[in-house]
Structure 1
Amino acid sequence: MAGTIETARRHDLRRRAWRWHFLAALLVIPFVLWQSVTGTLYLWSEAWVDQRHPDLRFVAPDPHRVSLDVQVQAARDYMGDARVDNVQVPADSRRSTQVMFTDARGLPVAVFVDPRHGGLLGRLQGAAWPVGWSRGLHGGWPLGDAGSWLLEIGACWTIVMVFTGLYLWWPRDGRGWRALWPRLRSGGWVFWRDLHACVAVWFALLIVLFLFTALPWTSFWGGRVLGPVQQRLGQQAPAAAGFAPVFAGSGAEGVASLQQMLDTARARGLNGDLSLLMIEGPPGSAVSLRSIEPRASDDRFLLFDRADAALLDETDGARFPLMARAVATGVKIHQGDYFGRSGPWVNTGFAAALTWLCVTGVFAWWRRKPAQALGMPPKPRAPWPWWLRLTALVLFLALPLLALSAALVWLADTTWTKAFPPRAAP
């Protein structure tokens, strides 16, 4: 009798995991496909621009360069009243200086200047600048915060799908480690199920880690959860990192020389590609200059007084607190920088694996579902076990939008079940 009750409990729990895996898939598959496509486009967008517009991206190598102020002013004159977002200064003398603006739609506009004489080379925007629109679409543009929230919900439910999928895959038939390999000769539903489940298990840890590297970029979790937690624990990045406007310096009126800031950076050993941020920031705020390195620990940051270019502060990624360092490293991994030239290939392979999971998951569902039915697993009747309630509580506390969306899914599921109760077997 006890064995029968235990078997019933396990069956009920498996049915519950299967049902939530199914519901999660309805939300997650469009999200995963969208993020895989837009993310891959962003990974290769810089290389595409290099191939498509070499006249804007490359110049004849020449050690002589005019002042950075002259270069930026040429871009300003060309763009009229638009504000400068940032300036990219390459270490390679064969590359042009890139001055970034934002258009009326909220998408970036890249203006290219020849550093040898300060002449304008041209600009790229809209469809011609995939670096901007692919990154924007990947982050929720043009819906703004609402788009970011939707993508965050998709990431949260992908985590749910990974956990429920692992439970469903876990071998209970004595196959042991052989369950890691698909049964290619089984045919039918089992064939597609194994192609889906085995690849998902291989990438499960990487999927979860990758999703958590994306969450700091979101407007809700990154801005309203992670930010306050870091501040309360003293784990935020140093002010010199310049991730937000830093109000420091003399506060005196005047505009300092960008070239003077650049010379100071080079003199202090920042020899790679550099990015200058908040050049036209709020009054009293400082100008942030940072190096662009593959590893977050190698990044260096300088903070300058806007009025006289005095160096106010300096730091590097190795001096970040543990949480801030983990976030910065996650960002590098997520955008394909961490592994150098092989980074885009690694992340493209990962995106291909996610697409594979979506396709094989749909095929497995299609082969198994009853004819003329959705094939949603039946609703469990037994209450949630205590350990599952505790797990859900931890996830809901860590991911508030998951809690909110889960409540909406539960409400919709309950309403649907009451409106269209399952038919009894004849």
Structure 2
Amino acid sequence: MSVPFQGSAPAAMRGRARPLLREAVYRAVWRWHFLAGLLCLPFLILLAATGALYLFKAEIDATVFAHRTLVVASGAPLGPDRLVYTAMQAVPEGVPISYTEPSGPEASALVTMNVGGERTLVFLDPYRGDVLDALPAAREFSGVVRRLHSLTLFGPAANLVIEIVAGFAVILVVTGAYLWWPRGQGGGVVSIRETPRRRVWWRDLHAVTGLFAGAGLLFLALTGLPWSAWWGQELRAWSNAAGLGQPRQLWADRPVSTVPMRAVLNEPGWTMQDAPVPRSEPRAAPAIGLDRAAEILRAMGMPAGFELALPLGETGVYAAAAYPRDVTRQRMISLDQYTGESLVDVRFPEIGPVGQAIQLGIGLHKGEFWGRANQLAMLVFCLATLLLSVTAGVMWWKRRPAGRLGVPPLPRDRRVMAGVTALMLGLGAVFPLTGLAILALIGLDLGVRALLRPRGLRPAAHSA
């Protein structure tokens, strides 16, 4: 004899189903958070450590490398022509590429030389003309730190890994926010339970740190992406094509070369990297010379510390760029090498809104825009990222089974896992290289499970 359900039974079943669904979603999100963290952990540590160092580039240069960056002001400085000539005497096998004006009365001048296709930096006393130091650009400290930060130290293709990591960092923040969300627990929201001997202490420290540092990590990831090899290049190309980056009207009816600004200037800025270098009209008259070009630029109000590239060939120009700590004062000027006429003069307000937003973001990312407060805020985010990485590693070590990786188990309801994975792929569509990495992880996961299934093996389940 069958007993009919009472009216309250379906409601009771629904009441039990909701916690089961929440647990399934939690486990699916936790699994993706773990996989993203496992992939990113060593790179996040590298990015945080090198980023913290680069924030204090000026301070490191003024202390550790003061012998080549600081001078004693005395009388009138020598002209750029004289300093470039001295650099050529110091590096006779090199060809001068650019001259960088001292950024202040006690700062050294810099001449960049091309030596066999590689750049050599020559630091000079602008008052006495003494060579303070000469070294390959590849060995200059802040340059090494910067290339480590972008992984370009290991080749151009390595920068693609940073792009993948930045995309996964976004996933870590989004999934971490879901895992942190209060569910009636007594700790781990804004307080820390137990002692460092217990895994829950590390879990709570990780969660509370993520609460306060998650927004900073997200900001650093998003503002670092424009410098990435593929996504950043595509964003720049799209913004320029849409008229939201380079002010193309400034090049209208002007002869330009096929050489991009990044080929002649060390720092052309994110928006102007692909801008074409203008052309000088060949004339019988001689070039105006470096001294006169620098004088014209100073008269035009170019910020101190600007870089001035020498003309390449009879159609070359004097291309100059200044990127001071105040992003809004950024400027790029190209002068006709024969007449000194300004061919292109790009100020920050003339850049499109996408270009402005990204260069502001980059300035904040590098701790340059709001002075010491900006610098210290970015340092806190770097240190918090290191703490998040350490606590994640300790948590994993404490919960992993002996001899196993300890990947969080799949939820019983595979539809929940499929739904959460679809959301991850949605984020991957915004960052395609990350999306490809997600597909690779899915393929690897399915492959491993297919290999284990015939042997009757399955990953050990562990509670969160």
Larger CA deviation: 205-214 vs 44-53:
44-53
Larger CA deviation: 225-234 vs 118-127:
118-127
Q: How far apart are residue 165 of structure 1 and its match?
A: 1.1
* Partner-residue secondary structure (3-state), 1:100: strand
Structure with greater Cα Rg: 2
Counterpart position of 2:404: 373
Q: How far apart are residue 318 of structure 1 and its match?
A: 2.5
Change (3 A) 1:268 1:424: closer
Q: 1:321 aligns with which of 344, 348, 352?
A: 352
Q: 1:243 aligns with which of 266, 269, 273?
A: 273
Distance in 2 (CA, whole Å) between partners of 1:80 and 1:134 is 28
After superposition, what is the alpha-carbon deviation per residue over 1:255-289, rounded to whole angstroms, capped at 9, x for unaligned?
A: 4422222212221223432222x435577454332
User: Does the 8 A contact of 2:334 with 2:344 survive in 1?
Assistant: yes
Paired residues for 1:158-237 under 5 Å? 158-173=169-184, 179-183=189-193, 188-223=198-233, 225-237=234-246
* Partner-residue secondary structure (3-state), 2:277: coil
Paired residues for 1:389-408 under 5 Å? 391-408=423-440
Matched, 1:64 2:76: yes
Q: How far apart are residue 327 of structure 1 and its match?
A: 0.9
Q: How far apart are residue 411 of structure 1 and its match?
A: 0.9
Structure 1 runs not aligned, ≥5 long: none
Give the counterpart letter for 2:304 in structure 1.
Answer: G
Larger CA deviation: 93-102 vs 329-338:
93-102
Alignment TM-score, normalising by the size of structure 2: 0.81
Distance in 2 (CA, whole Å) between partners of 1:378 and 1:283 is 67
Counterpart position of 1:289: 320
Matched, 1:74 2:107: no
Matched, 1:411 2:443: yes
Distance in 2 (CA, whole Å) between partners of 1:336 and 1:368 is 37
Change (3 A) 1:18 1:318: same
Counterpart position of 1:423: 458
User: Does the 8 A contact of 2:225 with 2:232 survive in 1?
Assistant: yes
User: Does the 8 A contact of 1:88 with 1:98 survive in 2?
Assistant: yes
Identity %: 26
Change (3 A) 1:65 1:159: same
Matched, 1:336 2:367: yes
Counterpart position of 2:132: 121
Change (3 A) 1:54 1:250: closer
Distance in 2 (CA, whole Å) between partners of 1:375 and 1:181 is 26
Counterpart position of 2:256: none
* Partner-residue secondary structure (3-state), 2:123: strand
Alignment TM-score, normalising by the size of structure 1: 0.88
Give the counterpart letter for 1:132 in structure 2.
Answer: G
Counterpart position of 1:3: 15
After superposition, what is the alpha-carbon deviation per residue over 1:185-214, rounded to whole angstroms, capped at 9, x for unaligned?
A: 696222110100111111111111111111
Q: 1:252 aligns with which of 260, 282, 287?
A: 282
Larger CA deviation: 1-10 vs 188-197:
1-10
Give the counterpart letter for 1:169 in structure 2.
Answer: W
Q: 1:155 aligns with which of 163, 166, 179?
A: 166
Change (3 A) 1:198 1:49: same
User: Does the 8 A contact of 1:235 with 1:322 survive in 2?
Assistant: yes
Change (3 A) 1:97 1:187: same
* Partner-residue secondary structure (3-state), 1:64: coil
After superposition, what is the alpha-carbon deviation per residue over 1:358-409, rounded to whole angstroms, capped at 9, x for unaligned?
A: 1111122223334443221112442258975774454223211011111111
Paired residues for 1:101-140 under 5 Å? 101=113, 109-125=120-136, 129-140=140-151
Question: How many correspondences in the alignment?
Answer: 422
Distance in 1 (CA, whole Å) between partners of 2:403 and 2:123 is 58
